[in-house]
């Protein structure tokens, strides 16, 4: 229906017990059929940004 959707990208960094670090990327958006808030988590920034881009075409 062309409803505007909001998107925010967050990086969540974690320090693991072995001293290494890892990150997960969260896309927070309102690109749902009823405009409700939704969060999706991805392993890397590129995939998260691609998901944001594909969601903007759906809205």
pLDDT digit string, tens, across residues 17-41:
999 999 999 999 988 888 888 999 9
Among 16, 20, 19, 42, residue whose Cα is nearest residue 29: 42
Look up the pTM and report it: 0.77
* Whole-number pLDDT of residue 1: 52
Measured over all CA atoms, what is the biggest interatomic distance in the chain, rounded to whole angstroms?
Answer: 49
* Whole-number pLDDT of residue 4: 66
* Whole-number pLDDT of residue 31: 81
Write down the domain spans for the chain: 1-25
Burial class (CB in 10 A: 0-12, 13-18, 19+), 23: exposed
pLDDT(10) > 80: yes
């Amino acid at each position: 229906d062309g409803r505007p959707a909001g998107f925010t990208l967050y990086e969540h960094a974690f320090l693991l017990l072995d001293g290494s670090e890892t990150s997960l990327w969260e896309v927070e958006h309102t690109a749902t059929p009823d405009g409700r808030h939704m969060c999706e988590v991805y392993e890397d920034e590129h995939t998260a940004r691609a998901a944001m881009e594909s969601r903007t075409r759906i809205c």
